[in-house]
Amino acid sequence: MNYPVARQENSSNAIGKTLLLVVLELHYFGLYIDKFYRINWSSPVSVGICIIAHEPLASAFKSAVQHIFSTTEDTNCDDIACFDVPNNVDVETGENHAKELISPLLNKKDGVLIFTDILGATPSNIAHTLLTYPNVRVITGVNLPALVSVLTHTDSSLASMSALAEGAARSSITSIAMPSSIPRCE
């Protein structure tokens, strides 16, 4: 995918530097930016999105993306299916509930992308039982940049969205430390 390149005429221009940083940050989060530096909010997402996570994470992630997109007229985040897995659910009961949850999403054009929190935990095990459907992909380690990238790449295929979400999730994880040259307050 080609992302726009921010051109900076004068490197000492603070506004140009800020624009470049913003464009680079948006690029790292995997956001689709058109040639006018606007994000494409208008089209419906071509795949169904489901979050299966430990209670109450799935609903919390949905609420967070609804908050992020609240200033736009985009309603894609309202269509996210959530399953907050309680601590006492068994995999079979959870699998039945998850199948009911994603069955309306399977009618989407290009399948269902399922996000889950921890690989090997009960929500992940429930999500992995849904891989018997041909148009289902599971991504573990859900985070907000992954969800935002999927919600802004509305016309991508299931395979492409899966790769975008994984890339956004990985690129957003970083370690930040206080530079040693800056004196610390004690």
Q: What is the pLDDT of residues 122-164, one digit of tens each?
A: 999 999 999 999 899 999 999 999 999 999 887 889 999 999 9
In 103-141, alpha helices (H) = 122-129
**3-state DSSP assignment of residue 82:** strand
Report the topology of domain 48-171.
Answer: Rossmann fold (3.40.50)
Confidence at residue 164, expressed as pLDDT on a 0 to 100 scale: 94
Q: Is the pTM of this model over 0.75?
A: no
Percentage of the chain beyond pLDDT 90 is 53
Ranges of each domain in the chain: 1-39, 48-171
155 contacts 129 by C-beta, under 8 angstroms: no
Distance, CA of 82 to CA of 98 (rounded, Å): 9
Which residue is it, tokens 């206080």?
Answer: 178
Using CA atoms, how far apart are residues 144 and 151, in angstroms rounded to an integer? 11
**Over the stretch 91-118, which tens digit does the pLDDT of each residue have?**
899 999 999 999 999 987 789 999 999 9
The least confident of 55-69, 81-95, 100-114 is 100-114
Do the beta carbons of residue 124 and residue 117 sit within 8 Å?
yes
Amino acid occupying residue 54: H
Token code pair at residue 127: 């999500």
Q: How far, in Å, CA of 153 to CA of 133, rounded?
A: 23
Residue 117: closest CA among 145, 138, 91: 138
